[in-house]
Each structure stands twice: as C-alpha cells, then as structure tokens.
Amino acid sequence: LVKPFPGLTDSVALLGFSGACFKDPFLNCLCFCSTLCLILLFASGVFVSTLYLFIYFCFGFCFTPLTFFCPTLQKSEGLSSQRSSLLNSHLQWLLDNYETAEGVSLPRSTLYNHYLRHCQEQKLDPVNAASFGKLIRSIFMGLRTRRLGTRGNSKYHYYGIRVKPDSPLNRLQEDMQYMALRQQPVQQKQRFKPVQKFDGNSGDNYSGGGQQLAGAAEQTVIAQSQHHQQFLDASRALPDFVELDLGQSNTENISPEDVKALQALYREHCEAILDVVVNLQFSLIEKLWQTFWRYSPPETVVARLPQSQLLLLCRHEAVLKWMNTCDHLMYHALVEILIPDVLRPIPSALTQAIRNFAKSLEGWLNNAMNAVPQRMIQTKIAAVSAFAQTLRRYTSLNHLAQAARAVLQNTSQINQMLSDLNRVDFANVQEQASWVCQCEEGVVQHLEQDFKATLQQQSSLEQWAAWLENVVTQVLKPYEHRPSFPRAARQFLLKWSFYSSMVIRDLTLRSAASFGSFHLIRLLYDEYMFYLVEHRVAQVTGETPIGVMGEVQNVIVLNDIFLYFMSQYDIS
C-alpha cells in the first residue's frame, strides 16, 4: 500500500485526492470508497495486497497522477535535505579550520582554493566564489575586505581571519610551497617587479625609481605563500631616527642641505627595506642597497645628493655613529616583524626563507658598497652581521621550542625525566662547580627544587618560559642600575651553561633513559636564557638587542684590523 504513495501519511489528503480524480461522480465515489477501505484495513493490520491489486488493475489509471506526483515530492524533499547536509558540512569545515583574529589577513583566493580542495577530497559539490564569500561573512561577523600587496601584485584579502594553528591547512600550504620551489627551473628568466614608495611632498623619492629586480623563485614562493603574513607583525612601523649633528668638527665642503638630504634619503631607504621585508621580497634588498650606495643610482638620487658628497659624509665620524644607530633601530624592527614571538610555531618554509635571507645579507651589502670608504663598510657590515646572527639564533630557538613542546606534552617522558633527575648527585655537581662559578649554595639549591617542582607539574612550554624569565629577574636584580650589569649578565650565562653541562654529564654517566629529552631541553633553555639576557641588557642600557650584539661584532672587527696590521710587521 505504501509503495505507490511514498511520503504521504495524511489520510485526509489521500482521500481527498482519490475522490477528485474523475469527472464521473460514480467513479469518484467508487475510488474514494475503495481507498478508504484500503486505509482502514491497513490500519487494522489486515493483509490487503490482493484487494490492492484488484483496485490498481481496475482503476489503476486513476492513480497515475498520484504515482508521478509522489516521487517528485520525495525528490524535492530529498534535495532539500541534501542541501542542508551539504551546508552543514561546509559550515563545520570553516569552523574547524579558521578563526577570527585581529591584525591578520588571508587572501580571498586562498580561502576559496582551500574550500575547493576540501570539496574535491570529500566528493562534494562546491558553491561558486560569490556564494562562498557570503557564507564566510555569515559565519565570521565583522570581516573586512582589503586590497593588499605591492603595486601590480595586489590581491583582495579578508581582514580579521586566519587559519587555526592546529589546522591541517597549514601543512598543506607548506607542502605546496615546497613543491613550488622544487619545480622552479634553475635557469628561469628573472622577472622585474616595481617597488615604489611616494612622498606626499615630492615625486622624486629614490625608492620609486623604476623597476626593481626580483628572483623568479622568490616571486613564486610569495605568490603561493600569502598566508605566511599572518605569522608576521606587519603593524610595526619604523621608529623615528635621531637627528644627524656634525657638531663643531671639520665640515668643509659639507653644506646643511647635504646633511638634510642624507637624512631624508636614508630614512626613505630604510622604509623601503621595511616594506619589502613585510612582503617577504627578500631578494629586493640587494637592489635597494645598490641603489642607495650608488652602484646603480637613479638620476633623481644623484640630483638630491651627489656621489662625491655622499662619500665625503661617509668619512665623517658623526655620520658613522648616526648611521650605525639608525641601522640598529631598523634591524630590530625587522626582527620584530619577522619573528614577533620566538616560541610561536612558524611554518618550516618561512623559517628556511628567513635563514637563507640571513645567509645572503653580508654578501649583498659587500657587493653594493665596493666604492664606499672602508670605515663605513666596516660599520655597516658589523650591524648587518649582528642582524643576520640574530635571525639565525631566533629561528633556531623557534625550531628547538617546537621540538621541545612535544616532549613537554608527553606524560611518560616527563615521568622518566623526573625519575632520572632525582638520581643525579647535585651535591657532587655543586662541589665541582663551586670552584669555577663561586655561586651561593642556597641559590643553587633553590633553583634545583624549583626546576624539579616545575617538571613534576608537567608545565607547558609557556610556563617554563615564565619560570626561566623569573630566574633571570631574581639573579640579575642586585645589579640593576649599575654599570656592571652587562658583565654580570654575561657571567650568569656562563655559570648557567656550566651547571647545566655538569647535570648532563651526570645523566650521561648514569646512562639515563631520558638523556635525549634532557639534552633537547637543555639546548632550548640555554638558547632562551641567552634571548632573555640579551633583551634585559638592551633594556637596562637603553639600546636595542641588535645594538648589544653589534658591540660584539665591532670588537671582532677591531681585533681583525689589529691582527691585520700586526701581520704586516716582521716579528722575529
């Protein structure tokens, strides 16, 4: 009985339909009564297949409209249910992989490509881009659309949304970028890309002078890795530079206009560098350096400050110090843009791009400054070397942090580490280290107990970072506001490293099962201690961390110069 009437359960509707199939009143009445009998018999549980066949063969033509109508209704209801299920699947996928966040953006095309891939994997029918955009805005309220990117390569972005850190889309994007690099031809023709920056008062800004050279491989990575910008702090601006004051020293042949032109040009130069770093166009840095140092200067730059005047200024001691200070401020801003949080996970492709960038910096700058006085080259190289070293250290620290995070989240490994640590003879460690470090025994015991307690609590990586920062604060607090603070900070790093090496030595001799985990944790904590002390010294001395490292580079350069001159004499 149900088969020819699928989806109709309302008896009244069935009776009304069956009683209105014919124009002849007799046939209408017969059909109505037969249908009513079928319903009553079916409701009472009587087997009605024979009666049903009799009515169907006698009056089957009366059921023809109903036979066609009911499957159509069923199909309509099924289609609605299918669409509802499809919509729920799309909504759940968006909520599982994306979240709202301030100050970040994603290209619209990237989101839609992720969605198309999801539909392909799940064998779903995708909606068009316009409908997908409406769906996103209905879920993530308050999204704004912005057109971001350099001229000629700008794209529409959703501002205020990002991929969740634990989403598999992050790994998908890394794999796509890696394949793009692998498939890039070695001898592919390089493309030119304009990087222009206009001044509101004049149109002769040096950084807007024409086309800039960019590697094809770099451009391919940038085109396919726009999501990397969500890991950057693109909101950071270049800080104000101090005024250049030549004082009462020899300023012959140097006019005040030359000094003002140098300040303006160097400010524009640094802003252009910051722009290309924000857009991850690292290969353009070399061209910017060549432009400023007159390796291939535009005519507008020569008109504002002739090369002869630039070289004359480069020999001035005040200019050397001023430019070194500006470089430290700029490089510190670049580090904060590229690695705003050393503990936050960074995609491996972005990490590798930053390390390659750091490796190329000194060579690019040396090639661009081949006609500049040697003192200026040494000053610039010392600053850029400190910048490159900082990038390498911070990316290594970030890599260690992600490796250690997995260890700290493993309960069995933590228990094994705690068991092995309790077997270490800390009294013997203190006895051996005291002659070298001369640390107070109470301080060492307090750190030992705190370390064990924090390990037993199975603290997260962020909680360990807070504990290490608290250790630095307690140890260096007596030296605050003293000139000896930098030296005390360096001594603390040496003592920390010595004590940790003694503990690792004891674990090695005991063949501790958790030696590998302790070794990884020790590497991370030593690096993070260096990071904390470096920033604490910079804070106390009023310098940037790049400036603190730059002082070390200056000492190295001076030692190299001294050894060079000593080698010119025959010491026998």
Q: Give the pLDDT of residue 121.
A: 83
Which residue, chain included where needed, has tokens 């280290």? 433
Q: Give the pLDDT of residue 320.
A: 92
State the Cα–Cα distance between residues 114 and 161, nearest whole angstrom. 14
Question: Quick check: 250 pLDDT over 70?
Answer: no
State the Cα–Cα distance between residues 399 and 571, nearest whole angstrom. 48
Of 267, 276, 294, 292, give the one whose Cα is nearest residue 357: 276
Q: Give the pLDDT of residue 434.
A: 81
Distances from the Cα of 325 to the Cα of 175, 290, 301, 318, angstroms: 40, 21, 23, 11
State the Cα–Cα distance between residues 267 and 199, nearest whole angstrom. 12
Distances from the Cα of 555 to the Cα of 346, 519, 561, angstroms: 33, 32, 10
Question: Quick check: 558 pLDDT over 70?
Answer: no
Helix residue spans in 438-514 (DSSP H): 441-456, 461-476, 485-509
Question: Quick check: 187 pLDDT over 80?
Answer: no
| Band of pLDDT at residue 559, cut at 50, 70 and 90 | very low
CB atoms within 10 A of CB 384: 23
Q: Give the pLDDT of residue 45.
A: 44
Least confident of 6-20, 121-135, 316-330, 380-394: 6-20
Q: Give the pLDDT of residue 22.
A: 46
State the Cα–Cα distance between residues 118 and 115, nearest whole angstrom. 5
CB burial readout 81-98, b (16+ within 10 A) else e? eeeeebeeebeebbeebb
SS3 sequence of 240-288 = CCCCCCCCCCCCCCCCHHHHHHHHHHHHHHHHHHHHHHHCCCCCHHHHH
Give the CA angle between residues 447, 452, 458 to the nearest 5°. Answer: 130
Q: Give the pLDDT of residue 536.
A: 93
Question: Quick check: 227 pLDDT over 80?
Answer: no
pTM of the model: 0.59
State the Cα–Cα distance between residues 201 and 502, nearest whole angstrom. 63
Question: pLDDT tens across 501-536, in order?
Answer: 999 999 999 999 999 999 999 999 999 999 999 999
Question: Quick check: 55 pLDDT over 50?
Answer: no
DSSP tally for the chain: helices H, then strands E: 22, 5
State the Cα–Cα distance between residues 237 and 337, nearest whole angstrom. 9
What amino acid is encoded at 336 in this protein? Answer: E
| Band of pLDDT at residue 62, cut at 50, 70 and 90 | very low
Distances from the Cα of 315 to the Cα of 32, 367, 547, angstroms: 111, 19, 21
Q: Give the pLDDT of residue 279.
A: 84
Distances from the Cα of 467 to the Cα of 398, 439, 462, angstroms: 18, 20, 9
Question: pLDDT tens across 112-167, in order?
Answer: 888 888 888 888 888 888 888 888 888 887 788 877 655 555 678 888 888 887 78
Q: Which two tokens stand for residue 82?
A: 């299918």
Question: Quick check: 202 pLDDT over 70?
Answer: no
State the Cα–Cα distance between residues 305 and 303, nearest whole angstrom. 6
With contact defined as beta carbons under 8 Å apart, do 130 and 173 qualify?
no
Please state whether 325 falls in left (phi above 0), alpha (psi between -120 and 50) or beta: alpha
State the Cα–Cα distance between residues 249 and 149, nearest whole angstrom. 45
For the chain, the average pLDDT equals 74
Q: Give the pLDDT of residue 324.
A: 93
CB atoms within 10 A of CB 410: 14
With contact defined as beta carbons under 8 Å apart, do 373 and 311 qualify?
yes
Question: Quick check: 569 pLDDT over 50?
Answer: no
What is the C-alpha radius of gyration for the chain, rounded to an integer number of angstroms?
37
Q: Give the pLDDT of residue 163.
A: 86
Q: Which stretches does DSSP call E strand in 319-364?
A: none
Name, of 167-181, 294-308, 486-500, the range with top average pLDDT: 486-500
The mean pLDDT of 53-67, rounded to a whole number, is 40
Share above pLDDT 70 across residues of the chain, in percent, rounded to a whole number: 67
State the Cα–Cα distance between residues 158 and 104, nearest whole angstrom. 9
The mean pLDDT of 13-30, rounded to a whole number, is 48
Residues 6+ away with beta carbon under 8 Å from 281: 150, 193, 195, 214, 218, 219, 222
With contact defined as beta carbons under 8 Å apart, do 386 and 549 qualify?
yes
Question: pLDDT tens across 312-359, in order?
Answer: 888 889 999 999 999 999 999 999 999 999 999 888 888 999 999 999
State the Cα–Cα distance between residues 389 and 393, nearest whole angstrom. 6
Q: Is 362 exposed, middle or buried (0-12, 13-18, 19+ CB in 10 A)?
A: middle
Question: Quick check: 5 pLDDT over 90?
Answer: no
| Band of pLDDT at residue 194, cut at 50, 70 and 90 | very low
State the Cα–Cα distance between residues 254 and 258, nearest whole angstrom. 6
Residues 6+ away with beta carbon under 8 Å from 326: 241, 242, 266, 270
Question: pLDDT tens across 417-473, in order?
Answer: 999 999 998 888 888 888 888 777 788 888 889 999 999 998 999 999 999 999 999
Q: Following DSSP, what letter does each residue of 152-184 receive, concatenated?
A: TS-EEEEEEEEE-TT-HHHHHHHHHHHHHHHTS
Q: Give the pLDDT of residue 454.
A: 92
Of 197, 499, 231, give the one whose Cα is nearest residue 353: 231
